[in-house]
Every structure is written in C-alpha cells, then in structure tokens.
Amino acid sequence: MTTTPTPGGQVHALLTDGTTVCLRPAVPADHTAVLRLYEAMSPENLRLRFFSVSHRSAEQAADRATRVASVHRALLAEHAGRLVGIAEYEADSSGTGATAEIGLAVDDHWHHRGLGTLLLEHLVSAARAAGITAFTADALAENHEVLKVFADLGLRTTRRFEGPEVRCTVQLAPSEDYLTAVEGRGRTADVASLQPLLRPESVVVVGAGRKPGSVGRAVLRNLCSGGYTGRLYAVHPKAVQILGVHAYPALGELPQTPDLAVLAVPAAAVPGIAEECGKLGVRALLVISSDLDAHQAKALLGACREYGMRLVGPNCLGVANTEASVRLNATFAAAAPRPGSAGVAVQSGGIGIALLGGLDRLGIGVSDFVSLGDKYDVSGNDLLQWWEGDGRTELAVLHLESFGNPRAFSRTARRVTRRLPILTVDAGRTDAGRRAAASHTAAAATSAMTRQALFTQAGITATRSVPELLATAALLHTQPLPSGTRVAIVTNAGGAGVLAADACVEAGLQLPPLTPSVVADLLAVLPSGATATNPVDTTAAVSEEQLRACLDRLAAAPGIDAVLVALVPTAVAAATGDVLHHALCHTPDELRSRTLAAVLLDQAQPVKLLSADTGSVPAYADAQTAARALAHAAARDQWLARPPGTVPALDGVDTPRARALVASYLERHPQGGWLGPRDCAELLGCYGIPQQPWAWAESEDEAVLAAERLKGPDGLTVLKAHWPGLLHKSRQHAVRLDLRGDAQVRSAYRDFALRFDGLMTGAVVQPLAPRGTELFAGVVQDEVFGPLVLFGLGGTATEVLADHAARLAPLTDHDVHDLITAPRCAPLLFGSDGSGPVDLEGLEQLLLRLSRLADDLPQLAEADLNPVLVRPEGVTALDARVRLLPRDGRDPHLRRLR
C-alpha cells in the first residue's frame, strides 16, 4: 500500500536521527502557531534569525509566513501536532520570477537533527516547479550553522560579505551532486529509523495466546528459543506468564516502553493498539495481522505517521536479525534462519519460507530476514540502505511484487550493488502474472519490459524463478566472478558435454577453442582416448588425480574465464560427487581464482555445495541451471567493470518554452489528447529533436505550393492526411508517397478529402526522404515507474516484429549505448550489411533528447517517432505523435515516507 499526498498536501519524512516529522504548506490559520514558534526561541536564536530580538520582528515574520500569495510559499514542519520549523520563500517582485528570498527558522530544541535541511529540500522542489532558478538569503556572518546548512545542501552556493552580514545565493539547477547529497542524508535517516525495528533493545508481543496454535504464541516462542538478547514482554488480559515470559494485562502497565511491538491480533483491534503504542512512545511496529479493510489500514498508517513509528506489514511472516548481539527471531516460521551474510526481504511469506529453506540447505546463512507483507511503510529500498552499511550483509535477496518509488529504488540499487550483489525474482512477467501481482499487492501492474529495464539499469541480477535465484546465490556466495563469458567444459561423457555446451551457448556464454599448447598439456595428463577440444572429454576412465591435473591446467589456460565440470556416474566412477570432491582437494591458487561450477547428473538436489579444502563449489543437477548461474555472474562482472553512467548535458533545450506549450495545450484541452502537427513539431523543436521539413495544407492549392517549395532533389513529395485522433496513417491509407508534380499532389489531396470527408482537417506535406534504415523511438509514461524510452526497428514492421529495447528515463550515456545495441536490428546500424555505420552520435543525441523531454514533462503520456530515418549522413524523425494528459509532476528524489 502506498500513500500519495495530494499536490500542496502534507507529507511525512525522516530526520537524521530517525524521527518522523510532518511537512505541509502554511495557511492563515497557522498564524498563532508560527508566532509561538518565534516567541519560544532563545534571544540568541532570534537575533541570528532577525538580526534583532524585537517582538515586532516575530509578529511580522508570522504575518508573512501565513499569508496566501502567488509569489510566496511557506512550509511548516510539525511533530506530534507541534510546530518545530518553518521555511519560506518570497519570489522576486521584478516580474522575472527567477529568484526568491528565503527564510528558515527551527525550534531551539530541534537543532542538529537535519530539520532545516529537510525543509529546504522540499522548498527547493516547490520553487523549481514554480520556475524559480535561485534562492537568496541574508545572514549574519557569525551564524555559522545556517551558512553550513546552505553550503551542505549540495547545490552551487556563492557568498558575498557586506560588513557583518553575508549574502548567500543558491542555484537551484538540478545536478548529480545534489541528488547524491540528498541520498546521503536520506540513507542516514533511514538507517536510524530502522534501528528499533531490526536492533530493538526491548520487544512486546501483543496477541500471544495461552494455548498452542496462535500466531502470536508462535512468534513469542521463536523469540524465546532464538535467544533474543533484549527484554521481552507479552500482553494478555488474563495470563501472568506465557512461555516463561512475564505477561501484562495492558500496554500501559509494561515496566518500560518497548522499542518494537509485535501485533498478532484480529484486524479490528489493530488500529486501536497501534494508537496506544504510539502514545506510549513505541518506535516500531511489526503487524502480523491480516485482512485489514481500507478504514483500518488508513488508521494504522495514520497512527504510525503521527507518532513516528516505522511499520513492517501488515499481513507478514515477521522479521529476524541473526546478529549475535541481537538474536531476534520475531517470525512464526517453523525454522529459525541460521546466522550468515545474506539479507532477505520478501513480500510473500510463502516465498520467504521457500528462500529461507533453500538458503539453509545450501549452508548460506542470513543476516536479516524481513517479510514486508502488504508493505504499508518499510520497503526493499529501506532494507538495501540498511544492508549497505551494516557490516554483515554480503548478498541481498529480494522478492518484490510492487515498487513504491522506482526512481529512488533504482538509484539506491545502483549504489548498493557495487558493494554487494542484489538478487531478485522477476515475478509478473506475463499478463496473467501481472494480474495476480496486482490482485495480491494492490499495486499497479507493470510490464515485463519496464521491470527488466529497471533491473538492468540498476545492476540487479534478475532470475526467472526461486530455484534459479538459489542456484545463482550459490555461485555468487562461493566463487569469484568470471572476468568474461568464456567457459571451458570438462566431462567424462560426450553426451553430458554436448548438453552442457548447448546450455552455455543458450545462456549467452562462449566456448572458445583451446590453444594448441593447452590441448597438448591436457592430452598428456588424461587417459588414452580423451579429446581436448572444448568440451574436454576425459573419458569414463578418468581418475581423481587425472581430473585434478586437467582442472589445474585449464585454470591456468589463457582465454578461459570459468570452468564447468559435467560428470555422470559410470562403472568406473559411480559417485561423481566423490570424484569431483577428491579432485578439488589441494587445488592450486590458479583454480581458486577461477570461477568453477559442476553439473552432477546423478545428483538428487537441484543445487548443493561441495566442500573442499579451499572453500565450496556449487554442483547442479542439470546443465541449464549451471549455465544460467554462470551467465548471471558474468553479467555482474561486466556491470561492475563499467563505471557509473552520467546523464549528459544537452545544448539547445528550452524547457520553459516546452512547459508553456504544454500548459497552453492542456488549458485548451483539459482532458488532454494528441497534439496537432504544429504543436508536436514545436514541442520536439524545444529539445532539438531533428525532424523532416514539413508544411501544413488545408486545401489543394496550399498542398501544391508546399510541395513545390519542399520537394527534394528528385522532385518527389509525400502527403499525409491528418485529423485529431489519427494514429496509424498507413492502416488508414492516409499516406501517399512518390508524388511528382502539381497534378499528382492535387489528386492525392482530393482523394483524401473525399475518403475522409468530415474527418480530415488538413494534410502534412514533406519531401520524400532518401533511403536509409527505418527505426522507432518512443516514450510511454508508466504509472508506477515513470517515463520509459523505447527503441528498435521502425516503419510498418514495428508492431509485427516487436524488435524493441527499453530503458527508464533519464538515460545515462551507458543507458543510451545499451539501448542502441540491444535490439536484434543493431548490427544494421554498425554496417553489417556493407553500407557502413549510420550516424550513431546523432542517434544517441536523439534518444537523449527524447529522454530529457519525457523527464521534464510529466504530462507527456506517450510519444512515437516512427519512422526515424538513420543514415551515415544524419538522423531525422519522419513522423511524430505526442499525447498529453493533465498530470502533476512529483519529484521522485524528494525525501518522503510512502
């Protein structure tokens, strides 16, 4: 469940110490509260704020902060209903509106908690939306704290000293430095807020029954048997003791306020208990209860926001932290997770149980386990930030069915996955799966292409099933990453080698031929009859010593990144696992540094770990699973080897004019719609997107004059009928090509006018384009993930062949390169047909500009450039369609709780 504040409404956000505050616009009724805030300040704080301590200054400030004016905006910060801070701006009255004077005040008791910075971040976002490009502020030169707040924002700031005062100017232009600074502050706040949830010093279980069988009792039992190191309490109206834990009749009678409250009570009781917990000062809730209706859900989340409690659930399995100093197992799972280094977060409790069981069978322990359930509050993004710096987690495993803020998740994942692998199951790939996901999580359905774009850009390893995830985790947990996709296969049976070779190639891996010297070395140590091509067939007579010698030589062979050993039981060696185990003993350093995996076709388990003196080797029951795990590992190495991408700066972009054009269109068409040719061309022109010359004609004569003016060297022109809502001109036979001379142009226009009588409003006239490769470039605004840029083969074959790739905007330089090289038609762009490469730089620019267009304008519902003609000489959009919808933009990087 997510909560989206209405424009101008209240939002909740975290301070650096994990405290929750409510931010909202000031209204005239807040005058008294604002005045009290100023009057409660110390004389020193007032002097630094107003350069004096006069009561009149406070009254004037309260008057200004609570007035309603188009050039003024004030944001208030409240905690438990009490005003604790205010930030405001007054726009330049000269008429330009480019700069605004700002003011900031924070309650004396709330300094050094990041409140002023948080207020300014939200004020920056509001100012940008209003077209303000810079803030100015006057401060006393001795007011080091407020000067540091401005300097640490992450925005370009200049100072000009004027006697005892200093004039600060803060440029509001978006930048990577600013986003990084905001993320850093958000990470600090997030981690602090999760401390009482994952490292609580005291826990209370509400709903633990005296009789076996209740969920609450199971949670309490697991807390006891797991050896929880903190203080543990239970609440029960009649019992004095449950499972040896002292029970109290009510929360208010506990000897201390617990950090974490576990609620396993009927849904109807949840809101009231949550309210009671909040009033007592509980800092985190774990709600096991399920089946909350909309009213109960709203009340639960409202209590958590009002009292600053982080929430996991409802409808979840629980949470666990295996850290020796905590030993928290607040779940009702049958088995406790073993301590280790894998962080696990799931929405489905059933998937969580499967993952915990699978990891346990592999001997992979867990650092934290969090069953998110309906995910009202704590999300996968929160946990990634926790694991990033907890010092224990080395592998993150996620199973998410919905995303609250995909932009924030993507940026967090891009950063975290450079330190540790992030594995997920790409659930909901089919239409049926997406419907199931939406029904299960009440989340908006998302396409497989969009999810894959998110995972690819963020460097997340996305598997197709839980078994594939576990198989990949086994490899990443035990083996070094392969430095490429080149695999050498060793087998004791030719058929097994063929199966392994097919599986590797199908997974995108390569089987390079071995060098003559390596072949000679291998044949010298293998039994008679062996072959040393790739795959290497050792024959069934291979001994443990011979297999070890073979692996030793392959480990040192040039041009090999990984070794896959595929063995079958034979009369000579019936126990393939034993053979491989003994062969791996006393392995040289070269083999230890090489990625090694095994396929044991007689193995009952899908995957298990074979222990050797130097570590463990994953062994798989089938070659396809092993090959996919190797491919995932190779992809991770390639992703890590590439430096983080940057969003290139673009010249010739006029965003203010584009926004004005969009506003004007939506004012005329409040329901939105498809832009006409003129508006469409002007909007694309604001972003420097190259377009084929064109003219608008509303009669035969105008069409003839335009054709004469625009015709190319061959004298040929194109005529396209137009009317509002026309989407597929070719299907409607509304395009005429190769028109030569006045008569053909007149005839084509007349034909359109007759066939489309009552529909056609005019026609577009263009010169006939030269030959080239026809591509498609477009944008669709996903309701959850934001703008998605698509690229691929264009022309009339676009929908039939569906040769498209997609990436989420904004595109980095790496993203645009991946977008161009991903479709099957990519070799044509690089001259595979002998014609030479097309203008790749121009194509990259077009995609980057389309990405910027979509990122700047949330009202852009979809845009199609089809076809886009690419040639060695340049890139041109021959036809374009743009649809707008009335939609308010929401800053995806603004710190706020869901």
Which of 176-180, 386-390, 426-430, 479-483 has the weakest average pLDDT? Answer: 426-430
Does residue 759 share a domain with residue 835? no
718 inside domain: yes
Q: Tell whether the model's pLDDT for residue 441 goes beyond 60.
A: no
4 inside domain: no
To the nearest 5 percent, what fractions of the chain are helix, strand and coil? 40, 25, 35
3-class state of residue 229 by DSSP: coil
183 inside domain: no
180 inside domain: no
Q: State the Cα–Cα distance between residues 743 and 751, nearest whole angstrom.
A: 12
Residue whose tokens read 């089946």: 291
841-888: pLDDT as tens digits? 999 999 999 999 999 999 999 999 999 999 999 999 999 999 999 987
Report, as an integer, the average pLDDT of 274-293: 97
The β-bridge partners of 204 are 233, 261
Label residue 826 by pLDDT band (50, 70, 90). Answer: confident
Instruction: Give the Cβ contact number of residue 418 at 10 Å.
Output: 12
pLDDT at 435: 43
pLDDT at 210: 86
Amino acid at 743: A
Q: State the Cα–Cα distance between residues 669 and 666, nearest whole angstrom.
A: 5
Q: Tell whether the model's pLDDT for residue 586 goes beyond 90.
A: no
Q: What percentage of the chain reaches a pLDDT higher than 90? A: 74
Cα 715 from chain centroid (whole Å): 51
pTM exceeding 0.85: yes
Instruction: Give the Cβ contact number of residue 861 at 10 Å.
Output: 20
Residue of 546, 487, 407, 453 whose CA lies nearest to 894 = 407
566 versus 93: the higher-pLDDT residue is: 566
Label residue 706 by pLDDT band (50, 70, 90). Answer: very high
pLDDT at 94: 60
Out of 400, 431, 464, a domain closes at: 464
Label residue 243 by pLDDT band (50, 70, 90). Answer: very high
Does residue 327 share a domain with residue 308? yes
Cβ neighbours of residue 846 under 8 Å, at least 6 residues apart? 689, 690, 777, 865, 868, 875, 877
Report, as an integer, the average pLDDT of 24-31: 93
Which of 56-70, 319-333, 567-581 has the weakest average pLDDT? Answer: 567-581
pLDDT at 436: 42
Q: Tell whether the model's pLDDT for residue 574 goes beyond 50.
A: no
Q: Tell whether the model's pLDDT for residue 585 goes beyond 80.
A: no
646 CB burial (10 A radius; 0-12, 13-18, 19+): exposed
Does residue 299 share a domain with residue 378? yes
Residue of 304, 300, 372, 366 whose CA lies nearest to 329 = 366
Q: State the Cα–Cα distance between residues 826 and 337, nearest whole angstrom.
A: 47
CB 852 within 8 A of CB 828: no
CB 458 within 8 A of CB 413: yes
Residue whose tokens read 């704080």: 45
471 inside domain: no
398 inside domain: yes
In CATH, what number is assigned to the domain containing residue 580?
Answer: 3.40.50.261
Does residue 632 share a domain with residue 611? yes
Does residue 212 share a domain with residue 315? yes
**Euclidean distance between the first and final Cα of the chain, in Å?**
9
647-684: pLDDT as tens digits? 999 999 999 899 999 999 999 999 999 999 999 999 99
DSSP state of 796: G
Does residue 215 share a domain with residue 77? no
Cα 831 from chain centroid (whole Å): 35
Label residue 591 by pLDDT band (50, 70, 90). Answer: low
Does residue 520 share a domain with residue 401? no
Which of 271-280, 331-340, 822-831 has the weakest average pLDDT? Answer: 822-831
Q: What percentage of the chain reaches a pLDDT higher than 70? A: 92
Report, as an integer, the average pLDDT of 266-277: 98
Q: Tell whether the model's pLDDT for residue 366 goes beyond 80.
A: yes
As a whole number, the mean pLDDT across the chain is 90
Report, as an integer, the average pLDDT of 624-646: 96
Does residue 397 share a domain with residue 518? no
Residue whose tokens read 């743009």: 882
310 inside domain: yes
Label residue 121 by pLDDT band (50, 70, 90). Answer: very high
Does residue 686 share a domain with residue 725? no
Q: Tell whether the model's pLDDT for residue 248 goes beyond 50.
A: yes
Report, as an integer, the average pLDDT of 345-373: 95
Q: State the Cα–Cα distance between residues 261 and 250, nearest whole angstrom.
A: 13
pLDDT at 93: 66
In CATH, what number is assigned to the domain containing residue 840?
Answer: 3.30.470.20
Q: Tell whether the model's pLDDT for residue 48 goes beyond 90.
A: no
In CATH, what number is assigned to the domain containing residue 152?
Answer: 3.40.630.30
Cβ neighbours of residue 722 under 8 Å, at least 6 residues apart? 676, 677, 734, 760, 761, 762, 763, 764
pLDDT at 67: 76
Give the number of domains in the chain: 5
Amino acid at 183: E
3-class state of residue 490 by DSSP: strand
Q: Tell whether the model's pLDDT for residue 1 goes beyond 50.
A: no
Domain that holds residue 17: 11-174
pLDDT at 865: 94
| Dihedral pair phi/psi, residue 236, rounded to 5° | -150, 135
In CATH, what number is assigned to the domain containing residue 745?
Answer: 3.30.1490.20
DSSP state of 269: G
Q: Is the dihedral of CA 477, 479, 480, 484 positive or negative?
A: negative
Does residue 868 share a domain with residue 778? yes
Tokens of 162: 């004027």
Label residue 811 by pLDDT band (50, 70, 90). Answer: very high
Q: State the Cα–Cα distance between residues 525 and 548, nearest whole angstrom.
A: 10
Amino acid at 852: R
Out of 440, 464, 488, a domain closes at: 464
The β-bridge partners of 321 are 328, 368
Q: Tell whether the model's pLDDT for residue 576 goes beyond 80.
A: no
Cβ neighbours of residue 298 under 8 Å, at least 6 residues apart? none
Out of 578, 609, 641, a domain closes at: 641
583 versus 789: the higher-pLDDT residue is: 789
pLDDT at 61: 77
CA distances 496 to 353, 529, 686, 825, Å, are 34, 17, 60, 34
Label residue 577 by pLDDT band (50, 70, 90). Answer: low
pLDDT at 21: 97
Report, as an integer, the average pLDDT of 287-315: 96
Tokens of 221: 């039992």
344 inside domain: yes
Q: Does residue 314 have a cis bond before it (omega within 30 degrees)? A: yes
Does residue 371 share a domain with residue 338? yes
CB 155 within 8 A of CB 171: yes
Cβ neighbours of residue 743 under 8 Å, at least 6 residues apart? none
Does residue 164 share a domain with residue 20? yes
